[in-house]
Amino acid sequence: MDNRPAGADGWLQGDTHRKFDTMAAHLRGMDMAMVEIGHRYAELYWAGQDGNWAYAAYQVDKIRTSLELALVRRPKRSASAEPFVTGLIPMMQQAVSAQDAQQFAGAFETMTVGCNTCHAAEDLAHIRIAPPVQRTVITHGP
């Protein structure tokens, strides 16, 4: 086992197993993934509003990746997330590929309902999402 400190200024201490446990604690479960997904959800919304389809495609891909990685860490959430992974994300990818604002709006609304349905299934109905009303990133180009 490697007991040398790791990380900037050696903050990661202990043997290899302890280092992995420390990293897992920092990475956490679904909550940190949802912070990223929430940000990307808002960016996806604005990309669709702007007709910036390349940026929208990028955000959908990153939402998928973040969710899939989170489900590796928390497989017990897979049943609730499965409709999102197999249905809603592909639907959104198709809407973005079509570069059709009306199709995108419908897909985004369906995806929002799906997010809230998943939250409710996980006893987190108090976490309700809605399309953003204010941008957090200023620059978007078509």
* pLDDT of 140 above 70: no
> Which of 9, 66, 61, 12 lies closest to 37 in space, CA to CA?
66
Report the range of poorest mean pLDDT among 7-11, 39-43, 120-124, 136-140.
136-140
- Residue 51 belongs to some domain of the structure: yes
* pLDDT of 6 above 80: yes
**Predicted local distance difference test score (pLDDT) of residue 56:** 97
Mean pLDDT score, 25-46: 91
- Residue 132 belongs to some domain of the structure: no
**Predicted local distance difference test score (pLDDT) of residue 9:** 86
Which of the two residues, 103 and 77, has the higher pLDDT score?
A: 103
- Residue 17 belongs to some domain of the structure: no
Number of structural domains in the chain: 1
Which ranges in the chain belong to alpha helices (H)? 16-27, 30-50, 53-73, 78-83, 89-98, 101-121
| Radius of gyration (C-alpha) of the chain in whole angstroms | 18
- Residue 88 belongs to some domain of the structure: yes
Q: At residue 38, what is the residue type? A: G
**Predicted local distance difference test score (pLDDT) of residue 141:** 59
Q: Which domain holds residue 105?
A: 31-121
